Amino acid sequence: MGLERRGVGDRSAWDVIRARQPWGALALVMLTGLAMMRNGVDVSSGPPQPAGAVSAQQGRTVAAPKPSAGLRPLSYAPASRVRIESLKVDAPVIDVGLDSEGWISAPPPQDPNLAGWYQNGISPGQSGTSVIVGHVDNDSGPAVFYSLGTLKPGAKVEVTRYDGRVAVFQVYGVEVYAKDDFPGVRVYGDTGHPELRVITCGGDYSRAGGYDGNVVVFARMVATR
């Protein structure tokens, strides 16, 4: 499939331009199914899941918040930190791209308090959908997004950028999807507003196959500072 299966070093200038656009990022992530986040530990209860989430496509979603009057999208700048006060998450963010096999990379699992921003897509606060990923656990136990499935609509996610600006997003949906039925258009499509998706592993876990799903948080920018 061309770009979708190449490593970063093999991409042409045109491929890079495509990857910077919302649908370029969508094509990359849809085909990988975020399979890079497979680390886990055998825990009897597993990580918390969205209320009512059992398998392929369940969770809780409300109407997306209306943008505040006069709120404008920010210009491009990489993400440096993500904070979710209600979950006590306060983690540095590193850039992640594609690995040598063409999969989207995850942050190094050895550091449990580390998130990754998909650098070939939209930056947080720009018009479009930006993506931040992180591990739910590692061999030592819970990691940065272990409690992501407990987020409720209305919660705030703050992303600090390297230009010093902070984009504040309000959660309006928390859902879990099976990796073999991941709705890329729904998750990564451009809504016409600055949006954020925070993604980690979810669903059932086995040592043979890892987690069989992804928890996805849907959030829209409501403020900047």
Q: What is the pLDDT of residues 145-164, one digit of tens each?
A: 999 999 999 999 999 999 99
Q: What's the pLDDT score for residue 49?
A: 59
Domain count across the chain: 1
CATH code of the domain in which 74 resides: 2.40.260.10
Q: What's the pLDDT score for residue 51?
A: 46
Nearest-angstrom CA–CA distance, 28 and 14: 14
Tell me the average pLDDT of the chain: 77
CB atoms within 10 A of CB 44: 4
pTM: 0.77
- Which structural domain, as residue segments, surrounds residue 18? 2-224
